[in-house]
Amino acid sequence: MISFDIECSNGHRFEGTFKDYDSFARQMERTLIACPLCECTDVKRLFTGCAIQARPSATPSSRDPETVTLFDAMRIARAFVREHFENTGAEFAERARAIHYGVEEPRGIYGETTPDEVRELREEGIAALFLPDPDRFEN
């Protein structure tokens, strides 16, 4: 199911839910979508600021860069970090501080931490961010 914001020529906005994009396109073509307030069939789809695509059938590395989804980008970033950075596990915050304050050699690290620890690291001037696992969020 997909949902689109729609506006009629009288300025009324409403939401339409469709089986898929093709169903929406067919109904638009046949002028079957009508405003629930004034029954006007002169409608247009409103484009919103965020659109997240479902899981791609191809691997991110084999896809055209112009078609890479947000989830693909997260997978690419996670793969890069895992390949080039050291996994410090649950000691991430402590090791990040040690590197920042010159106790350990500078290097890229990743590991596990809490939102509170990340906030504290940032307050100390230490760059840290979460890399979410896209498989946990994607449909």
Q: Per-residue pLDDT tens for 85-128?
A: 999 999 999 999 999 999 999 999 999 999 899 999 999 999 99
Section 8-18 average pLDDT = 91
Look over the chain and give the mean of its residue pLDDT values, rounded to a whole number: 85
User: Is 8 exposed, middle or buried (CB count within 10 Å of its CB: 0-12, 13-18, 19+)?
Assistant: buried
- Does any domain span residue 52? no
- Does any domain span residue 128? yes
Number of structural domains (the chain) is: 2
Per-residue pLDDT at 48 exceeds 90:
no
Per-residue pLDDT at 58 exceeds 90:
no
Section 52-61 average pLDDT = 53
Per-residue pLDDT at 76 exceeds 60:
yes
User: Is 94 exposed, middle or buried (CB count within 10 Å of its CB: 0-12, 13-18, 19+)?
Assistant: middle
Q: What is the pLDDT of residue 63?
A: 58
- Does any domain span residue 64? yes
- Does any domain span residue 54? no
Q: What is the pLDDT of residue 73?
A: 85
Cα 66 to Cα 44, 51, 76, 138, distances in angstroms:
26, 14, 14, 20
- Does any domain span residue 55? no
- 14: domain range? 2-46
